[in-house]
Amino acid sequence: MRRVGIVALNTFREAVRDRVLYNLVFFALVMIAASILVGQISIGIEEMVIVSLGLSAISVIGLLIAVFIGVGLVSKEMDKRTLYALLAKPVRRWEFLLGKFGGLVLTLTVNTIAMALGLFLALGVITQSDEHLAGSVLVAVYFILLKLALVVALALLFSCYTTPLLAILCTAGLYIAGLFVKEMRAFQSDTVSQAVQSVLRGLSYILPNFENFDVMAAAAHGRAIPGLLIAQNTAYAALYCAVVLAAATAIFTRRNLK
């Protein structure tokens, strides 16, 4: 576990040195632009616009980082052969994977916290927002983070056995599929047999369900999010990440590094 931490910190350092956190500047610009824009366009819904725009930006920026860096976590180290010297040291392959995962999740956490602070700052500038709103926005940010961790795990899994481009496609594909789980469940058609429909239904419970983490509308309206849902989503993300990482480990420990 100690070595997992060392690898994670180094992964974090890599992200920082590769100027990943520069995206925060972009986020700041979006928030400033939004603040100016809402002042001119809409009356009465400034808060809502700032919250939904801010949360969307946090989510999109996070997803881009999670996918594009996630798919390179393992494959880049294999391509550049930076992995060779490391794996000849007393590092188990699962420790390496977990460290890589932890490192990117740490990066995303720092990044997301910074963006959330920016969002709260913008909210504070626009209005004297009530605690209710702040609470549900905080939960929404936390859910985005859970979602990002799951995306990183998936990207890491694909990164273990396919090319980055294909890994991006697979990760993005699963993410999008995971947003349409409800439609899949309700899928009814005369042209498709009952068996296919029940398979789809079953799949809809097994695929990573990214809809679970979407509480943006509730946050924008400052509605409270039940504590049970927070607990359930946390458990869901943790369990799903564990399953995906176990699969990644199984693949990676058998992998020959050419």
Partner 1 sequence: MSTGASRTLLCAVLLLGFSGVWRLQHGIDAQLNTTRQEQDDLTLRSGALVKALSLEYAPLAADLYWTRVVQYYGGKHESQQTNLDLLWPLLDVTTTLDPNLIVAYRFGGMFLSDAPPRGAGKPEQGIELLRRGIRNNPEYWRFYEDLGFIYYFDLGDYPKAAEVFLEGSKRPGAMIWMKTFAARISEKGESPETSTMLWSEIYNSTSEPSIKENAKVHLQLLRARADCEQLNKLAAEYKKRAGHPPANMRDLVKAGLLPGLATDPVGVQYWFDLEGNAQINPASPLFKEQRVDNKRP
Partner 2 sequence: MATPAIEIENLTKDYPFGFLHLKKKTSLEGLTMSVENGEVFGFLGPNGAGKSTTIKLLVGLIFPTAGTARILGKPISDISMHGDIGYLPEQPYFYDYLTAAELLDYFARIHDLPAQERKARVDAMLKKVGLETARKIQLRKYSKGMLQRVGLAQAILHDPKVVILDEPMSGLDPVGRREVRDIILELKQAGKTVLFSTHILSDAEMLCDRVGVIVGGKLRGVGAPDEIVGMKPQGMEILFEYTGDSKGLRGLLSKATQTGSRYRLQVAEADLYATMQQLCGAGAKVLSVSQVRATLEEYFMHLVAADRAQAPAVEVSGK
Which residues would be at the binding site for partner 2 (CB under 8 A)?
A: 2-3, 6-7, 10, 13-14, 17-18, 80-82, 84-92, 254, 256-258
Q: Which is nearer to partner 2, 69 or 241 (CB)?
A: 69
HEC-encoded secondary structure of the chain: CHHHHHHHHHHHHHHHHCCHHHHHHHHHHHHHHHHHHHHHHCCCCHHHHHHHHHHHHHHHHHHHHHHHHHCHHHHHHHHHCHHHHHHCCCCCHHHHHHHHHHHHHHHHHHHHHHHHHHHHHHHHHHCCCCHHHHHHHHHHHHHHHHHHHHHHHHHHHHHCCCCHHHHHHHHHHHHHHHHCHHHHHCCCCCCCCHHHHHHHHHHHHHCCCHHHHCCHHHHHCCCCCCHHHHHHHHHHHHHHHHHHHHHHHHHHHCCCCC
Instruction: Find the binder of partner 1 among 173, 223, 255, 257 (CB under 8 A).
Output: 223
As measured in angstroms, the least distance from the Cβ of 247 to partner 1 is 7
Q: Which is nearer to partner 1, 116 or 215 (CB)?
A: 215
As measured in angstroms, the least distance from the Cβ of 251 to partner 2 is 13
CA angle 62, 240, 2 (to 5 degrees): 80
x/- site string to partner 1, residues 19 to 58, per CB under 8 A?
A: ------------------xx--xx--x--xx--xx-----
Q: Which is nearer to partner 2, 85 or 165 (CB)?
A: 85
Q: Does 190 bind partner 1 (CB under 8 A)?
A: no
As measured in angstroms, the least distance from the Cβ of 12 to partner 2 is 11
Residue 192 main-chain phi, psi, to 5 deg: -110, 140
As measured in angstroms, the least distance from the Cβ of 109 to partner 2 is 20
Q: Quick one: what does residue 89 bind among partner 2, partner 1, none, with the CB cut-off 5 to 8 Å set by partner type?
A: partner 2
Q: Does 212 bind partner 1 (CB under 8 A)?
A: yes
List contacts with partner 1 (CB under 8 A): 37-38, 41-42, 45, 48-49, 52-53, 205-206, 209, 211-212, 215-218, 220-221, 223, 225-226, 228-229, 232-233, 235-236, 239-240, 242-243, 246-247, 250, 253
